[in-house]
């Protein structure tokens, strides 16, 4: 991940530059490899770079051939080679950056440019001829992105990858909506992402095709192995991360001309080609796929992750943390996450600690399993869905809000340490397939557990001679939310510590402190208190608290759901 901070139509842009550079520095953790900035007219674009593709020539902001277009991007464009190829010799590219194609897509298609992109991204592009800024965010909001205004500067607009850049200069801030593009010429923000599944009123009736589910996810993983740096996989031992790790392990095998495999300890970097469908035929290869997990000693996920790693033959790093280490990190976690949501903080803390360990290995990019539970209704509360329409509507609601929950967690927990997380389940093509069949197939009932569709798609037991993707007991393991799976003592300790820190008197007075979005537990109160100590009031409106539907539980943990095997005793 990289970091961007930009301001358009600033009344004194040159005088503002020193402060702009300091604000950009606040997100240097996202891009520790290089810093850049460009001022043109009354606009400034700054960039903090994490180099993954185009290492030697991809410094930003990027400029067009005639220097009239200026671009700052946070993200990865997986189909950039296909786009370049489509331009032929029309444009002269200055770098090998995957992001440079955005300049010329804008030149060709104006604000329709994001429709042609396959990737995760937030960008700000300045057209100096028109004194115009356009800004866009990827369809699901995998990359974090915010927009702000200052009431004393009515014509000025600001953009940044994180809130901490904006709140010192903005008194109004929003989370930039995923799948949208802003145009300063009209001051309108419009939705460019218009998939078939977007309208929750239209319940699909397309028959389920398990093979398409499998092949589309495999292509999604393959695309996300585009890198010129060492990469790895996050492996919790749950279904989602284990499947991604399994596919990645298959894709990163170094094959000879025949069917024989070369020694996996050898490397063959940057073997890249494009097939007729625009997919990468080969990927960058490194010595042995590395996998990473974290948990309390003896945690459910740690045990399962080691079993998966042994099965796949990855070079596995299984770390443990103590409850005190997690508690000590909470304030920093909230600073990086920029949220007070209970579920996000619970799950982000071990991910934040693990990301630091991963960075120490020299790994700069990891694949992660976010999105599957939202797409397939994997959370245990989905068992209470009254019918397939309600089930489908809830999956769409969850996917649309991922940028405020799991995507925010994955992006900011890793970016805190200059690590990039890629999420294959949120590929546009995979979403079209996985959200486009009859949702009755996703329903949890006596015959089917949560995410039966995904499990069945990768179950090769009925395919003679087929290599299994995962051990059977992992493929069919019950859902553990990450905050539970790292060790049940983690959430218990958070609740106990919050109860010790927040008095009954203070908790009873909470409605006098917060007029909206009032905390409903002492744990939520504790997190909100730490958030308010670090962020002013205009930041709170960007936060959404995660709560399960069809459940009366105030605790969002999966263990609070009655169908969990290791449920809370009082549930």
262 lies in a domain? no
CATH at 461? 3.40.50.620
CATH at 104? 3.60.20.10
69 lies in a domain? yes
Is the same domain home to 183 and 214? no
Instruction: Encode pLDDT of 245-295 as tens digits.
Output: 999 999 987 542 334 333 333 333 343 444 545 455 545 555 589 999 999
Written as one string, the DSSP assignment of 13-58 is HHHHHHHHHHHHHTTGGG-TTEEEEEEETTEEEEEEE--SSSTTT-
User: Which residues carry out catalysis?
Assistant: 2
Residue range of the domain that includes 373 = 210-234+295-312+321-499+506-560
> Most distant CA pair in the chain: distance in Å?
72
Is the same domain home to 117 and 223? no
Written as one string, the DSSP assignment of 287-340 is SS-EEEEEESTT-HHHHHHHHHHHHHT-EEEEEE--HHHHHHHHHHHHHHHT--
pTM value is: 0.92
Query: Which tokens hold the place of 87?
Result: 């331009």
- Binding-site residues, please? 98, 234, 294, 368-369
Does a cis peptide bond (omega within 30 degrees of 0) precede residue 172? Answer: no
Is the same domain home to 348 and 479? yes
567 lies in a domain? no
- Binding-site residues for ATP, please? 234, 294, 368-369
**Residue 395 pLDDT greater than 70, yes or no:** yes
Average pLDDT on 336-354 reads: 97
Is the same domain home to 153 and 106? yes
279 lies in a domain? no
Residue 209, pLDDT score: 98
Domain final residue pick, 194, 224, 246: 194
Q: Work out the percent of the chain whose per-residue pLDDT is above 90.
A: 83
Residue 288, pLDDT score: 83
**Residue 377 pLDDT greater than 60, yes or no:** yes
- Binding-site residues for L-glutamine, please? 98
Residue 268, pLDDT score: 34
Is the same domain home to 182 and 217? no
Residue 358 near residue 415, CB atoms below 8 Å: no
Per the structure, the count of domains in the chain is: 2
Average pLDDT on 103-122 reads: 98
């Amino acid at each position: 991940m990289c970091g961007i901070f930009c301001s358009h139509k600033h009344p004194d842009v040159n005088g503002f530059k020193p402060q702009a550079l300091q604000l950009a520095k606040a997100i240097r953790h996202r891009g520790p490899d290089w810093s850049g900035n460009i001022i043109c007219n009354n606009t400034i674009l700054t960039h903090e770079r994490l180099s993954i593709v185009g290492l030697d020539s991809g410094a930003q902001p990027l400029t067009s051939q005639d220097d009239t277009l200026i671009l700052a991007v946070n993200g990865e464009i997986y189909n950039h080679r296909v786009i370049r190829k489509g331009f032929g010799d029309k444009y002269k590219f200055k770098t090998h950056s995957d992001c440079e194609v955005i300049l010329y897509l804008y030149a060709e298609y104006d604000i329709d440019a994001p429709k042609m992109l396959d990737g995760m991204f937030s960008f700000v592009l300045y057209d100096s001829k028109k004194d115009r800024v356009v800004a866009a965010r990827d369809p699901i909001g995998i990359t974090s992105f915010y927009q702000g205004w200052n009431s004393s500067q009515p014509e000025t607009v600001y953009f940044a990858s994180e809130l901490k850049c904006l709140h010192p200069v903005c008194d109004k801030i929003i989370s930039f909506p995923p799948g949208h593009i802003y145009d300063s010429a009209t001051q309108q923000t419009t939705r460019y992402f218009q998939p078939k599944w977007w309208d929750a009123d239209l319940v699909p009736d397309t028959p389920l095709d398990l093979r398409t589910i499998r092949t589309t996810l495999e292509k999604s993983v393959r695309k996300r192995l585009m890198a010129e740096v060492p990469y790895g996989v996050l492996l919790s031992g749950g279904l989602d991360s284990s499947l991604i790790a399994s596919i990645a392990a298959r894709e990163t095998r170094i094959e000879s001309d025949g069917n024989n495999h070369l020694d996996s300890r050898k490397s063959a970097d940057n073997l890249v080609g494009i097939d007729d469908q625009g997919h990468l035929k080969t990927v960058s290869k490194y010595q042995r796929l590395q996998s990473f997990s974290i948990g309390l000693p003896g945690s459910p996920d740690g045990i399962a992750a080691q079993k998966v790693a042994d099965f796949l033959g990855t070079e596995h790093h299984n770390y443990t943390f103590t409850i005190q280490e997690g508690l000590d990190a909470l304030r920093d976690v909230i600073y990086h996450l920029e949220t007070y949501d209970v579920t996000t903080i619970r799950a982000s803390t071990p991910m934040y600690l693990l990301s630091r360990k991963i960075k120490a290995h020299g790994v700069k990019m990891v694949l992660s399993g976010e999105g599957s539970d939202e797409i397939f209704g994997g959370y245990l509360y989905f068992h209470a869905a009254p019918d397939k329409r309600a089930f489908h509507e809830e999956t769409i609601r969850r996917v649309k809000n991922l940028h405020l929950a799991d995507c925010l967690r994955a992006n900011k927990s890793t970016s805190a340490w200059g690590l990039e997380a890629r999420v294959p389940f949120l590929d546009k093509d995979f979403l079209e397939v996985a959200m486009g069949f009859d949702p009755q197939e996703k329903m949890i009932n006596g015959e089917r557990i949560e995410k039966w569709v995904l499990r069945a798609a990768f179950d090769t037991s009925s395919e003679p001679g087929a290599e299994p993707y995962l051990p059977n007991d992992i493929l069919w393991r019950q859902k553990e939310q990450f905050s539970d799976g790292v060790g049940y003592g983690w959430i218990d300790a958070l609740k106990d510590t919050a109860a010790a820190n927040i008095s009954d008197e203070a908790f009873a007075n909470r409605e006098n402190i917060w007029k909206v979005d009032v905390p409903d537990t002492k744990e939520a109160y504790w997190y909100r208190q730490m958030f308010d100590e670090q962020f002013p009031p205009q930041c709170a409106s960007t936060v959404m608290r995660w709560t399960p539907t069809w459940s009366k539980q105030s605790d969002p943990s999966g263990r609070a759901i009655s169908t969990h095997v290791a449920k809370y005793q009082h549930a």
